[in-house]
Chain A
């Protein structure tokens, strides 16, 4: 009897982890700070699959949902820095939320491995709107202060800041209406309850929308007919980018190897074609370049958000 118990316990105690010299040699976990089926989630899963092909080990996505990404970020920051837990984080929790309120993590707690996608935002209105370009819209709104509504995917989201900044730079008074994510806002535009929304180009194919401007320094090659916002006199730049991050404190060689894996994964054909089907743009930056880019975004947002909070 005792033998049976001992054998059972022994079987259950099978330790499968000789500390190996080769990283990665067991299952990696990719933390996704948002819910299953959302934009971040799908891209993260595609990335996980691509990394799995390169690395030869299982890469398991794990959704840790809550508090607009805070829970997921916290989980990544407090994970063991052995390279087996990484996270895919979009721009808002990384460079915007820390300026809004006190969070249990900071930018410096992340080891930025690489940028995966980068998509500048478009200023979108319903296809049937009379406005032909941004100037016409701004002019109309200035003539009718407080009459028009614009949508965001929630206070503190990227579309929120994009819209707020846009209207403040141009000196327009329009009313903000929060929605739950893209879906709600797009529905409201279709129902003509709000006039404007900002998001990435992926939605153009699905809905009856037209883009009045792109919130980037220059026009995009994919959509050359959309003028850049700088042409209208203001520099309002907003974009959605996804980065692969890991907790700080990993050994050098692990960081290097991880960087390699991500670079190869993002460059792989399947990844590129899948991401493009979603309407997004793969835009790899190495770890160093990502750090520079993210810190730049961080500083830029710090200035504009602090300004908004003072009002």
Chain B
């Protein structure tokens, strides 16, 4: 039968918990404006879904076997976390610095960390990609991107 609590069972419990939170939100929902002719209220369909979700999660819990093959993250965990923060930083800096600058900084950091140590190639590539994107989007296509607080290249 396996241990009582293996990874699949834990996941199942998390799912059930999420289901309960949403169900609570659904049950305590107060519509601001309601049309009487709508036979199904705004929360009817989600509530049914949530019941099914919790039921299936429960079945999943009951049948949960220890996972046969899981990926071994030991060698890559650090890299994954670092890259996650790097990408998150890029995404959040994007409205602050504008597209070209944040892209440049991201690419330099990302490529450097991932193993491209040749500085010339690194900078050249990052610069040309950032410039290319800026050029194509702002000038040719005239799609406005966030200017950033520094209001560069208007």
Chain A residues with CB under 8 Å of chain B are: 1, 4-5, 8, 12-17, 26-27, 29, 58, 60, 62, 100-102, 155-156, 160, 164, 175-178, 305, 309, 311
Contacts and interface: CB of A to CB of B under 8 A. Distances in A.
Contacts of A160: 35
B119 A27 contact: no
A160 B37 CA distance: 12
A156 B119 contact: no
Given A12-B101, A12-B104, A60 B33 contact: no
26 contacts: A1-B119, A4-B120, A4-B123, A5-B123, A8-B127, A12-B100, A12-B127, A13-B152, A14-B152, A15-B150, A16-B152, A16-B153, A27-B142, A27-B154, A29-B144, A60-B142, A60-B144, A62-B143, A100-B32, A100-B33, A155-B35, A155-B38, A176-B37, A176-B38, A177-B37, A178-B35
A44 B151 CA distance: 25
Most central of B36, B120, B153 by chain A CB within 10 Å: B153
A143 B104 CA distance: 71
Interface in B99-152: 100-101, 104, 119-120, 123, 127, 130-131, 142-144, 150-152
Contacts of A311: 36
A224 B70 CA distance: 74
Nearest to B39: A175
A187 B81 CA distance: 51
Given A4-B123, A60-B142, A175 B153 contact: no
Interface of B, secondary structure class, is loop
A5 B154 CA distance: 23
A305 B33 CA distance: 9
Contacts of B142: 27, 58, 60
A15 B152 contact: yes
Given A4-B123, A27-B144, A29-B144, A102 B152 contact: no
A311 B33 CA distance: 11
Contacts of B35: 155, 160, 164, 176, 178
Contacts of B127: 8, 12
Nearest to B36: A311
Nearest to B35: A155
Nearest to A178: B38
Contacts of A305: 33
A265 to B, nearest CB: 18
Contacts of A176: 35, 37-38
